[in-house]
Structure 1
Amino acid sequence: MTPNELAARHPRLFHVTEPGAWPSIERHGLLSTNAALVHFDAPRDIIAKVSAHPRPATITLDHPENGTLILNDQLPLNEKALTACLDGGLSPQDWLRILNDRVFFWPDEANLERLLGARINRGRTRDVLVFDTLSLAQAAHDRMELSPINSGATIRKPARRGPETFTPISALSYRNWQRKRGRRDTVREVTVLHALSNPGAHLLEIRSHHSATT
Structure 2
Amino acid sequence: MTVDELLATYPRLWHMAMDGSWPSIERHGLLSTSALLDLYGYVGKKRHAIEAEHRPVSIPIETDGLPGAIVRDQKPMSDSALKKCLLDGLTPEDWYRLLNKKCFFWLSRKRLQRLLGARAYRADPQVVLTVDTASLFKANEKNVLLCPYNSGSTIMNPVKRGNDTFQTTADYDFATWRKARGKEQAVVELVITGGVPDIRNHVLAVHRVHEEKATPLWRKPGSSEDEGPYVKT
The match for 2:62 is 62
Match of 1:98, SS?
Answer: helix
C-alpha contact 2:52 2:94 (8 A) present in aligned 1:
no
8 Å contact kept, 1:58–1:71: yes
Q: Which moved more, 1:54-63 or 1:97-106?
A: 54-63
Per the alignment, residue 72 of structure 1 pairs with: 72
Instruction: Name 1:177's counterpart in structure 2.
Output: 174
The corresponding residue for 1:119 is 119
1:19-50 CA-to-partner distances (Å, cap 9, x unmatched) read: 12111011111111111111110242221102
CA distance in 1, matches of 2:206, 2:121: 19
What letter corresponds to residue 177 of structure 1 in structure 2?
F
CA distance in structure 2 between the partners assigned to 1:16 and 1:140 by the alignment: 19
Q: Separation in 2 of the partners of 1:42 and 1:150?
A: 27
Q: Quick one: higher RCO (CA 8 Å, sep 6+), 1 or 2?
A: 1
| 1:120-141 deviation per Cα after TM superposition (whole angstroms, max 9, x unaligned) | 2231111111111111111111
* Aligned AA (1:191): V
Structure 1 outlier segments of 4+, above 3 Å: 1-4
What displacement does 1:51 show?
A: 3.3
The SS at the match of 1:120 is coil
RMSD of aligned Cα (Å): 1.7
Identity of aligned residues (%): 38
Matched with 1:142 is 142
1:151 aligned residue: 151
Partner of 1:82: 82
- Structure 1 residue 182: Cα displacement: 5.6
2:180 matched to 1:162?
no
Q: Aligned residue for 1:102?
A: 102
Q: Matched residue pairs, number? A: 208
2:223 paired residue number: none
**Which consecutive residues of structure 2, in runs of 5 or more, have no partner in the other structure?**
213-233
Greater share of helix = 1
For the residues of structure 2 that align with 1:80 and 1:211, how far apart are their CA atoms? 32
TM-score (norm. length: structure 1): 0.91
Q: Which amino acid aligns with 1:8?
A: A
